[in-house]
Amino acid sequence: MRRFRKVLVWLLTPLKLAFALTLHWLAWLLYYADVSSKLSGLTANEMGGFLAGIAAPFAFLWLVIAVFLQRQQLSVRGEELRTSTEALKL
């Protein structure tokens, strides 16, 4: 039980970091949109490029976090399979 709790806390730490970075990025974007009045004068093509630039860091961050968490979950599962195999051998 102690090991499961330790793994659970360790898995949740990257999520907390990702949420904090996401909120920080959104706050910076809102500040930039408030300071810059040039956003209303953008054409559709320029607005699409701007929105793609906003979404790219989010997509990359959450992709890295998802891969990291999946790797950790597979590691835990592999350990469980090894222990159950050892228990069946006895």
Q: Which of left, alpha, beta for 63 (phi over 0: left; psi -120 to 50: alpha)?
A: alpha
pLDDT for position 10: 63
Confidence of residue 35 (pLDDT cuts 50, 70, 90): low
Q: Which helix (H) or strand (E) holds 77?
A: helix 44-89
CA atoms within 13 A on the CB side of 50: 14
Return the CA Rg of the chain: 21
| pTM to 2 decimal places | 0.64
Which band of pLDDT confidence, cut at 50, 70 and 90, is reported for residue 31? Answer: confident
**Helix (H) or strand (E) segment spanning residue 2:** helix 2-35
Cβ partners under 8 Å of residue 69, min gap 6: 11, 14, 15
